[in-house]
Amino acid sequence: MGTPSSHADQTELAICAAFPTDLTMLLHAAAGRMTDDLDLAAVQMGLNDVRDWLVLAALDDGRQRTQLELSRVVCVDKTTLISVLDRLEKHELIVRSVDPSDRRVRIPAITPTGRKVYAKFAIARDMAEACALDGVDQSGRALLMDLLARIAHRQDASLSGV
Amino acid sequence: MGTPSSHADQTELAICAAFPTDLTMLLHAAAGRMTDDLDLAAVQMGLNDVRDWLVLAALDDGRQRTQLELSRVVCVDKTTLISVLDRLEKHELIVRSVDPSDRRVRIPAITPTGRKVYAKFAIARDMAEACALDGVDQSGRALLMDLLARIAHRQDASLSGV
DNA sequence: CTCGGATCGTCCGAGTCCAGACGATCCGAG
DNA sequence: CTCGGATCGTCTGGACTCGGACGATCCGAG
């Protein structure tokens, strides 16, 4: 699926070179940079892109979820999720089983193989993130995460009238 | 072009709900959140999405650039840039002129109208960013921008052997 | 039991992105 | 001057995304 070697979204990476002071572009650039590294690591262990390990991460907690619930959790369109699950199932990293109490729904579950692959990826991910924050002290990291979470979860921008 | 009301990339936004501690997902979520707001503001003043005002921002400094140089500066694929420029030119926000010294190249330039639209957008952008950082003191903002820039500009991840 | 509406996963069509091909143009070697 | 290679903008084909439609299934009202 796609060309894993290229950026997930090419607008993100190099913007910063031109406009280093803009918050939004910096966020995109930083996110794109991290994703590039993570996609690379994912490809090295047979996953395709960010969605693959996102789904595995969600399934790794063992909770039973329908595909629709899963698509909401990882915020991937339910249509797109199908192709992701198809691929993961083909590689035997997950299985889809029919819920006996509701034959409409499919319950995707991670396999031992999938768990192993995800664990391996998680190590690479943690390494990449540690590397990205190398030299930043603990309070700085906490502040960064807090600010990012605040921006991400902020409810409304209320910039209606301009 | 596209559906401006939806997210630029649906993987970015709600990931945080599931995995709030992951740096990469937080970056994506925060970037997606900001972009959603900015895209909304852009649509309200006739632009289409992030690429439109990105191009305008790059052209606003008045420097002469070929389309290829421009595509590199804003990190938009040169093929995709064509459609952006076509649309901006149709709305008379930019003009493409042929460089007399090299008839292969086209020099896009922002028009007074384009400059006006971009200035209007820049106000909304600054408002959105100020809103996002509301309640964060100056040293916190500086630290955030510094860390983001560091992550974005980091040269290599060196996570080859896992 | 029956049946109409709601909800699941899947499929299809329109739109988008981008690697590679293409014509037009430039430029340096001869 | 000529001409082969490099570089510009544009076009095209294949792959992907996602809104809406579809069949299958569930469930509550009657």
pLDDT tens track for A41-67: 888 888 998 899 999 999 999 999 999
Alpha-carbon Rg for chain A, nearest whole angstrom, is: 18
Long-range CB contacts (< 8 A, 24+ apart) of B112-121? Answer: B114/B56, B114/B59, B114/B88, B115/B60, B117/B45, B117/B46, B117/B47, B117/B56, B117/B93, B118/B53, B118/B56, B118/B57, B118/B60, B118/B93, B120/A162, B120/B45, B121/B41, B121/B42, B121/B45, B121/B47, B121/B53, B121/B56
Domain contains A153? no
Q: Summarize pLDDT for B63-72 with one digit per residue, the tens.
A: 999 999 999 9
Domain contains B102? yes
Which residues are within 7 Å of strand D by their Cβ atom?
A 1-2, 51, 76-77, 79-80, 83, 101-104; B 3, 6-7, 9-10, 66-68, 78-79, 82, 85, 96, 104-106
How much is the average pLDDT of A80-92?
96
For position A80, what pLDDT does the model report? 96
Domain contains B75? yes
- Whether the CA torsion B130, B136, B141, B144 is positive or negative: it is negative
Count of the separate structural domains present in chain B: 1
For position B19, what pLDDT does the model report? 58
> With bands split at pLDDT 50, 70 and 90, how would you rate the model's confidence at A12?
very low
Compute the mean pLDDT over every residue in chain B, rounded to the nearest whole number.
84
Scanning every strand, the nucleotide with its C1' closest to B66's CA turns out to be D8
Say whether A28 and B31 touch across the interface (CB within 8 A).
yes
For position A22, what pLDDT does the model report? 84
Domain contains A24? no
Residue B124 has φ and ψ, to the nearest 5°, of: -60, -40
Domain contains A142? no
Q: Taking 70 as the threshold, does the pLDDT of residue B154 lie above it?
A: yes
Amino acid at A109: A
- CATH number, domain at A59? 1.10.10.10
- CA nearest to A13, candidates B45, B30, B80, B153: B153
Q: Which domain holds residue B100?
A: 48-134
For position B12, what pLDDT does the model report? 41
CA of A103, C1' of C1: distance in angstroms = 21
Domain contains A157? no
In this complex, the residue with its CA at the shortest distance from the C1' of nucleotide D12 is: B79
**Which token pair is A36?**
């590039």
CA of A87, C1' of C8: distance in angstroms = 21
Q: Summarize pLDDT for B73-85 with one digit per residue, the tens.
A: 998 999 999 999 9
Domain contains A1? no
**Which token pair is B152?**
């974005």
Say whether A143 and B143 touch across the interface (CB within 8 A).
yes
> With bands split at pLDDT 50, 70 and 90, how would you rate the model's confidence at B20?
low
Which residues are within 7 Å of strand C by their Cβ atom?
A 3, 6-7, 9-10, 66-68, 78-79, 82, 85, 96, 104-106; B 1-2, 51, 76-77, 79-80, 83, 101-104
**Rounded distance between C-alpha atoms, residue A125 and residue A123, angstroms:** 5
Mutate to test the interface with A, among B151, B154, B158, B162 (most CBs of A within 10 A): B151
